[in-house]
Amino acid sequence: MARFVTIGEHLIKNQEGFPFATGGLTHLISSIRLAGKIVNSEINKAGLVDDIIGKLGSTNIQGEDQQKLDVYANRIFKDALEARAEVCGIASEEEDDFVAFDDQACKDGNYVLLIDPLDGSSNIDVNVSIGTIFCIYRRISPRGEKAVLGDFLQKGREIVAAGYIVYGSSTMIVLSTGQGVHGFTFDPSVGVFYLSHENLTFPEKGNIYSVNEGNYPFFDDQTKSYLKYCKEHDPATNRPYTARYIGSLVSDFHRNLIKGGIYLYPATTLKPNGKLRLLYECNPLAFLAEQAGGLATNGKTNILDMQPTALHQRCPLIIGSPSMVKEFESYIN
Ligand code: AHM
Ligand code: MG
């Protein structure tokens, strides 16, 4: 671990050569880092404190049960971002509509942030890793005014920075500002994220496939043929592949990034647009995947080229090692 290289240090170093960088993005990312530490500390108490685990009894706009920690994490990230006043608004899985901050300092902010504050939160009660996923855009509405819907409905190609926090056996922030993907591991004894994984890149090909195969009867024929291919015995191509599915997108993505693999949440007859949300789940991970030499598609189009039409829009996601995603595409086309 590169001790003494913290996220802040790393970002400042990366800004050298960008004379017009104002430090605003670094300041913004520091608020995510702070909120991440607070959420991490609360998650670590999940088995000890009865009133923080389990369902809240409410549903989000997508009709899904909200966990107490979903709502807690949403509030912490929202408050931290509003306090630092670099973003003029946020969109979140846990908010019905986008939130345009009223404060004038926020209205002067250059950026908007889209976030899934606690992804895979149904895993909290069983002590399985969960995550936070986010991406940042430059606003398109005029500075000084409130954020508008169009600020949030930008293509993934316009992302300025994206990342995730994985609350796992250790807590990590994996981040890209468009200059590769870097991982920072939290040292709880000092409360600092240190650079631990510089220039993360997807292995060109791995042998892990991650999919909820319980949905098999509801996949289309091409997806079924691809999954049969994954399970065939062919030593020359290292098949059958190994099945690994945590049911926690950040953790499945993170493992595949390190070891090489493909994650799939395809369309099903029950969910014709898949399950995952384009704006704050698929787009940030697609940006990170490309920055790490990987690929992300909905089966027809590169995720980053999709034009969003709604805040909570869903889309199929196939993401991971480049030659494995291409292999999948060869079954679809
Ligand atoms: P969530 O945002 O409600 O937590 O749902 C997203 C999660 C992903 O983390 C995970 O990959 C997927 O849903 C699992 O879904 P399923 O249980 O249908 O396999
Ligand atoms: Mg989610």
Per-residue model confidence as pLDDT tens digits over 127-149: 899 999 999 999 999 999 999 99
Q: Which ligand is nearest to the CA of 275?
A: 1
Average pLDDT, 10 consecutive residues per value, the chain (333 residues): 80 69 86 96 76 68 77 95 95 96 94 96 87 97 97 98 96 96 96 96 98 98 98 96 97 98 98 97 98 98 98 98 98 87
The CATH class for the domain spanning 7-197 reads alpha beta
pLDDT for 23 equals 84
CATH of domain 208-332: 3.40.190.80
The pairing of strands 182-187 and 171-176 is: antiparallel
Contact 35, 90 (CB under 8 A): no
For a mutational test of ligand 1's pocket, the pick from 271, 276, 278, 314, i.e. the residue with the most ligand atoms closer than 8 A to its C-beta, is 276
pLDDT at 164: 98
Residues by chain with Cβ below 5 Å of ion ligand 2 = 116, 119
C-alpha radius of gyration, the chain, whole number: 19
What was the pLDDT predicted at 68? Answer: 83
Of 281, 292, 287, which Cα lies nearest the Cα of 317?
A: 281
The domain locations on the chain are: 7-197, 208-332
- pLDDT at 45 (0 to 100): 82
List, chain by chain if needed, residues with CB within 6 Å of any ligand 1 atom. 64, 93, 116, 119-121, 212, 247-249, 275
* pTM for this model (two decimals): 0.94
Burial of residue 110 (CB within 10 Å: 0-12, 13-18, 19+) is middle
